[in-house]
Amino acid sequence: TEEPARRANSIIEAAQFAIEDAAEPLSLSDVLDRVPRYGKAPGGKRPGWLLSNLMSAEKHRFQSVKWRGRKRWWLANKAVPEED
């Protein structure tokens, strides 16, 4: 895969970049897989739990949506894309 042109200043910014670049809502595991591309990754024994908590606290940035029958993360200030 190609290296993205932008680098994140935080894990939260990396999560935002991952969702923006995907242009569709992502599962937590997809976000977790993609954040290292932007130079960040949550650490610890439970990185998914940490990332979920961080994203949940950023209500002005992220929203949890149901998309294609599953819970996904999407941008708070954007309409959810149509499901194809």
pTM of the model: 0.91
pLDDT tens, 36-57? 999 998 888 999 999 999 999 9
Rounded Cα distance, 12 and 84, in Å: 28
Instruction: Write the pLDDT tens digit of every residue in 62-73.
Output: 999 999 999 999
